[in-house]
Structure 1
Amino acid sequence: MRFPRSSGCLAHPTSFPGKYGMGDFGFEARTFIDFLERTHQTIWQILPLTPTGYGNSPYASYSAFAGNVYLISPDILHKKGLLTEKEIKNIQLPSGVSADYEASFENKDKVFKLAASRFYKKMKKEEERAFNAFKKQNKHWLDDYVLFMACLLHYDKQPWNTWDEDLTKRKPKALKAYRERFSDEIDLQYWLQFEFYNQWMALKEYANERGVRVIGDIPIFVDHNSADVWANPKYFEVDKAGNRTLVAGVPPDYFSKTGQLWGNPLYKWDELEKDGYSWWVDRFKHMFDLCDAIRVDHFRGFDAYWEVEAGQKTAEVGKWVDGPGENLFDTILEKCGELPIIAEDLGFMTEGVRKLRDKYNFPGMKIIQFAFDSDSKNSFLPHNYSQNSVAYSGTHDNDTAIGWYNTTNDEERHRARIYTRSSGENINWEFIRLGMLSVSDQAIFPLQDYMGLDSTHRMNVPGTSSGNWLWRYTKNMLEAVDQEQIRQLIELSNREGT
């Protein structure tokens, strides 16, 4: 579908400042939305909100459906009467420009148990009806997830295919026994997901009321050590013991000379098709409930995906295999109606990918940082954009605009200066201006570029497994942003739509 001419900001909730070691859905989230409203921005783009696994990556999750409960705000729990002022003060941590996940997780775990016990003890009839309705509406993933998490914690987060064999193979007697054994933890997990949903939906409503729509993110693949693969092994390329047989990645590209070996188990698309793609339909419905639009990560994988045998050390040796293509999206369109989707169409593009994207009128992504490594025909140069696209200075996988300029080669810097008719001193604002004035329906910029930050504030370096997803800003950094310049650019480029 086409989107209105508009502009916005990319910032994940973990990057918000705050008192608990990582950003959450509390006061600072609303302060950020107020910043969007004041600057006439109408888009807030986020990364996946699902539980993070190895390396705290939102793209390596224990579930494709569940919420990251560490985004729950202790301050909101205090307002609800589920935590005391003393209890939330005891878990406060210094607020800096780097998230302290481990300390935050440990501290929040302590008070979450207290809050859950009080919720169950004080639950009113209205709350009980809402809680039961939530569990019923999400039964298709929630019941498996809460048991999975209880078992995962019991087994010290080791992969599910290393658990007790009967539990790994989901023998009914074993499932029943473990549900009884871990009933307290399961009750906690049910409440955590309920509270996550309530806090997120309240925050989304706050944004929508101020004319800001939320763009979520749906990774194409799921993590092997997830409730999804454990509960639905027939849909994934795993053997009878639960070991991965074929895994996902991409061949060598701009981001990595040896490709990116993600390691996610690939789908058995023929099995998914037999079920009418029900798992994928449920996933999209769930995402459309949580967000106003969705960025579909690695969209090209639906046309063709890079298949690598499990055990390979890099993604260099693999092959392209046809994906589900139109069959899948025709089904989702039929079941979900209009599809407000942005296609992440970066990397090696083929005519098949373009045809699939264009059939459903999904806008693609245009990254200004990619525009200066060739001549005037470069598709990432703004004069080559189509209207049905999204202009970005960079994404969460890119360096900041200033970081890019400081580290790229002299030839690209020269081209950037010539194109922007500038000295390159404020290249972040030059890139923002290019995106704003382009014909792209939407223009979205990482918050770091509005702040004029360098490489030390980068969110992620693809192909690396540590030191990522840590960036946070401080209150002073947000207050120092030139809000008047944003307003002027939005007015000048006619991007005040909603």
Structure 2
Amino acid sequence: MPFERASGILLHPTSLPSRFGIGDLGQSAYEFVDFLVKSGQKLWQILPLGPTGYEHSPYTMNFSAFGGNPLLISLEQLAAQGLLNGEDLNPLTGDDIEVDRVNYDRVIAHKSPYLAQAYEVFKQQLKTTPDPVFEQFCRDQAWWLDDYVLFMAIHEQQPDKMWQEWEGGLARRDPVRLKEKREELADRILYHKFVQYIFFEQWTKLRKYANEKGIQIIGDVSIYVCENSAEVWSHPEIFKLDAQTLEPLYRAGVPPDYFSATGQLWGNPVYDWDKLQETGFAWWIERFRATLQYVDVVRIDHFRGFEAYWQVPGKETNAIKGEWIPCPGGEFFETLGQQLGSLPVLAEDLGIITPEVEELRDRFDFPGMKILLFAFGGGADHPYLPHNFPRNCLVYTGTHDNDTTLGWWAKAEETERQNVAKYLGYDSPEEIPEVHWGLIRLALSSVANQAIIPLQDLLGLDNRGRMNDPSVNAGNWRWRYESSAQLSDALAERLGTLTELYNR
């Protein structure tokens, strides 16, 4: 569906400032919403909110496609609820703590005991006073929550093992063994239910605050899920797995291209779309339904995978020997629309995009993406140059996977720099006073219905502010801004002036 003309900011909640080493759903999140309002924005784009594992990628290493990340829980809000003593909340400090970086190991070690304390208080309260809201949450979300909390409780017992390495009765979900395990791990199961309840309670409150101030949340659905996740364990029939070992027969990725001679091997198991089709795409429909409980608009990461996906034999070490497999994306989105009505969907259509992918996107009026950092390496017909945009699209200066604008500018080819200068109306690159504001103005002034600016570009940060570099595995997803004071009235006024000027 096409959207109204609007603009907003890309910022994942982990990048918010806080005393505890990682952004959370507390005060700074509300201050960020206030900044959005003050600067005339209507959109807040986030990354997936799920519980992260190895290297804390919100896209490829989530333990659940439905759960929330416990690290985002605000300890201060728990104290306000009486579940913690506010005077006992110590900030995360140390020589290895940087104000603009998340040290995940330290954060987990620091926050987990507080969550455990809050749970013990909550559990004691349940013994004397039932919590009907908690009970309703557990009933409403049981269709995914029950599997997830059991998965996490078992995973905690043997954290170094994939679920396929669990004893046969657990790996293959023997009902007797599952019942026994639920009884054995009842306390940890209740703990994980509590954590999910608190997460979604805090997130729902924050989203309500944003919505009431005219801010819509753009959420993100990554097309694939992690192999070591509750979903693959609890729904092995919808993935292409070996019947004997339960390991993926094929893994997801993209083929070799200009940027990589061996392609990208992501490692996620691919879906068995024939089985999904037989069920009327039930699992995917529930995934969208669940996502739309907590966000207003859904951006589909790797949208082209709904037209055809690159599957690589499971034992390969790179993506060269894969093949494109057609996918019933048209039938799926038709069914999804019949179930959910109008689809507030954005399509991440970057990479290898064929006419078939474009047809699928346009058939359902899903806006595609335009990235200004990619626009200046070719001629005047480049599709990412604003004069070539259709209205039904979403323009970014850059995304979470790219350099910041200043980081890109520092290493851009001379031809790109010259093209930027000419496009902005300067004789040479040296005359451009603030290239990041030049591209922000281009995005906001374009005909694209929606424009999204990463906060790093508004703050004028170099590549120390980059969120993710897909070419490396380690060290990503760590950036955060230092203080809400950086969201100054002057910055809000500058952005707000452009937003009003270009009718966003």
The alignment's TM-score, normalised by the length of structure 1, stands at 0.97
Residue 10 of structure 1 corresponds to 10
Unaligned stretches of 5+ in structure 1?
none
SS of the residue 1:443 aligns to: strand
Query: In the alignment, residue 187 of structure 2 is paired with which amino acid?
Result: D
Offset at 1:19?
0.7
SS of the residue 2:89 aligns to: helix
CA, structure 1 residues 257+210, in 2 after alignment: closer, same or farther (shift >3 Å)?
farther
Residue 417 of structure 1 corresponds to 421
Residue 431 of structure 1 corresponds to 439
Query: In the alignment, residue 435 of structure 1 is paired with which amino acid?
Result: A
SS of the residue 1:398 aligns to: coil
2:158 to 155, 160, 163: 155
Q: How does 1:310-459 map to 2 (within 5 A)?
A: 310-422=314-426, 423-459=431-467
Offset at 1:90?
6.5
Residue 100 of structure 2 corresponds to 97
Whether 2:317 is the aligned partner of 1:308: answer: no
- 8 A contact 1:451–1:480 mirrored in 2: no
Whole-Å Cα distance in 1 between the matches of residues 477 and 285 of structure 2? Answer: 29
Offset at 1:260?
1.5
1:201 to 189, 201, 204: 204
CA, structure 1 residues 4+254, in 2 after alignment: closer, same or farther (shift >3 Å)?
farther
1:288 to 292, 298, 316: 292
Offset at 1:370?
0.8
Query: In the alignment, residue 426 of structure 1 is paired with which amino acid?
Result: E
- 8 A contact 2:20–2:91 mirrored in 1: no
Whether 2:200 is the aligned partner of 1:191: answer: no
Whether 2:278 is the aligned partner of 1:274: answer: yes
Offset at 1:254?
5.9
SS of the residue 2:219 aligns to: strand
2:227 to 224, 228, 239: 224
Offset at 1:305?
0.7
Offset at 1:430?
0.8
Offset at 1:162?
1.2
Residue 484 of structure 1 corresponds to 493
Whole-Å Cα distance in 1 between the matches of residues 130 and 257 of structure 2? Answer: 51
Taking every aligned residue pair, what percent have the same amino acid on both sides? 43
Q: Deviations over 1:340-362 (max 9, x none)?
A: 00000111111111111111111
Offset at 1:252?
2.9
Offset at 1:314?
1.7
2:173 to 161, 170, 174: 170
Residue 249 of structure 2 corresponds to 245
- 8 A contact 2:80–2:86 mirrored in 1: no
SS of the residue 1:135 aligns to: helix
- 8 A contact 1:49–1:68 mirrored in 2: yes
**Which stretch has the larger CA shift, 93-102 or 326-335?**
93-102
Offset at 1:258?
2.9
Query: In the alignment, residue 433 of structure 1 is paired with which amino acid?
Result: R
CA, structure 1 residues 90+15, in 2 after alignment: closer, same or farther (shift >3 Å)?
closer
Whole-Å Cα distance in 2 between the matches of residues 211 and 228 of structure 1? Answer: 34
Aligned residues: 495
Question: Aligned-pair RMSD on alpha carbons?
Answer: 1.6
Query: In the alignment, residue 359 of structure 1 is paired with which amino acid?
Result: R
Query: In the alignment, residue 206 of structure 1 is paired with which amino acid?
Result: Y
Residue 136 of structure 2 corresponds to 133
Whole-Å Cα distance in 1 between the matches of residues 463 and 273 of structure 2? Answer: 40
Residue 86 of structure 1 corresponds to 87
Whole-Å Cα distance in 2 between the matches of residues 61 and 255 of structure 1? Answer: 26
SS of the residue 1:290 aligns to: coil
Whether 2:468 is the aligned partner of 1:460: answer: yes
- 8 A contact 2:401–2:467 mirrored in 1: yes
Unaligned stretches of 5+ in structure 2?
none
CA, structure 1 residues 254+204, in 2 after alignment: closer, same or farther (shift >3 Å)?
farther
Residue 49 of structure 2 corresponds to 49
Whole-Å Cα distance in 2 between the matches of residues 31 and 191 of structure 1? Answer: 26
Offset at 1:104?
1.1
- 8 A contact 2:21–2:92 mirrored in 1: no
Q: How does 1:255-266 map to 2 (within 5 A)?
A: 256-266=260-270
Whole-Å Cα distance in 2 between the matches of residues 85 and 444 of structure 1? Answer: 37
**Which stretch has the larger CA shift, 188-197 or 321-330?**
321-330
Offset at 1:257?
4.2
Q: Deviations over 1:254-302 (max 9, x none)?
A: 6544322110000000111111111001000001111000100000000
SS of the residue 1:99 aligns to: coil
Whole-Å Cα distance in 2 between the matches of residues 135 and 430 of structure 1? Answer: 49
Structure 1 ranges of 4+ moved more than 6 A: 124-127
